[in-house]
Amino acid sequence: MATQHSQPATGELIKTFRHGKFFVYFLVVLGIVCLALAGFVVYLSTIAPQKNPPLFFGTAGFLAFCGVCGLAASVWQKKLRQPSYEVYENGVAQIVGSQRQYTPFTEIEDLYLFSSGQTVMSGMATNLAYRRNAGEPFKWISQHLSGYMDFQQLFRELYLRERQPVVLETLARGGAVTFNYISTGQVWRKRVSGKFLNITTQPIVMTRDALEVQGQKVPLSSLRNVDLNAWSEKVVIKDATGNTVLSTIGLGILGLDLFLNTLSLLLEQHQDAAARQSA
């Protein structure tokens, strides 16, 4: 008699992503070499004619400082690069040592994409952070993850696929779904300060009939334009009279793909309903 194996709640494992170790090893070697050179310079100062002792000890001190900084940076980078990630059909697992935290895509309310490093001014999403809700800290994945762009694309696609039906079901029942966003000014300040995860969010409350932003409730039937400006990076939503309902940098909207896709589906439903009424 054949035994039928039940599908795990996680779904099938798609791919495992890990951090590369080359940069950590490079920092360790650099630190050791600098310390060795510092010791060699001190040794030279004992056998060479003492014409300029400050030069020897100044050079040795500088090399020792560089060596200590290199070793300290290697410890810091090793800690940052410790997590690995398993991407499943239904969720993602973060693995740090013997600890494993699995999060279903359906439970992730905040998916935060942002820029850092050399691409910080370009608006390219070189970092991804996720959390179930504001009650827990973000899990941050940077571009230092091997295959990061593949990871980001896979994560976004699966998140949209799994989370979208949950959102639509909530709206169909007459419920409300909240998307959090940060202001344009805050996005730019984070890019300058580097404190990316220290954010203050504002809600965008979406129902099947209305959109509420900063306390202003606007019927979806009155929305006429959703502009995605690649040059300014902004998402601008206007009503039929030309008034701006929402204007913010796209990456400032947590769960940007889900927000835009859900809004597009709702607007399409309203347009179809209006067309049937006028027919």
**CA gap 107, 166 in Å, rounded:** 9
| CA nearest to 85, candidates 137, 126, 23, 129 | 129
Asked if residue 220 lies in contact with residue 210, where contact means CB atoms within 8 angstroms, the answer is yes
Predicted local confidence at residue 24, as pLDDT: 64
Q: Which of 188, 177, 202, 186 is nearest to 258 (CA)?
A: 177
> Considering only 119-133, 146-160, 239-253, which range has the smallest mean pLDDT?
119-133
Quote the percentage of the chain above a pLDDT of 70: 85
Asked if the model's pLDDT at residue 144 lies above 80, the reply is yes
What confidence tier does 261 reach under pLDDT thresholds 50, 70, 90?
very high
**Average model confidence (pLDDT) for the chain?**
84
Q: What digits encode the pLDDT tens for the residues 237-256?
A: 888 888 889 988 888 999 99
Would the pTM count as exceeding 0.85? Answer: no
What does the block give as tokens for 272? 């179809």
CB 239 within 8 A of CB 223: yes
Could you tell me if 184 and 252 are in contact, meaning their C-beta atoms sit under 8 angstroms apart?
yes
pLDDT-based confidence at 279, cuts 50/70/90? low
pLDDT of 130 strictly over 50? yes
- Write the pLDDT tens digit of every residue in 45-90: 777 666 666 767 777 778 888 878 877 777 766 666 678 899 999 9
Averaged pLDDT for residues 201-226? 90
The pLDDT tens digits of the residues spanning 13-25 come to: 999 998 777 666 7
Residue spans per domain, the chain: 17-80, 101-278
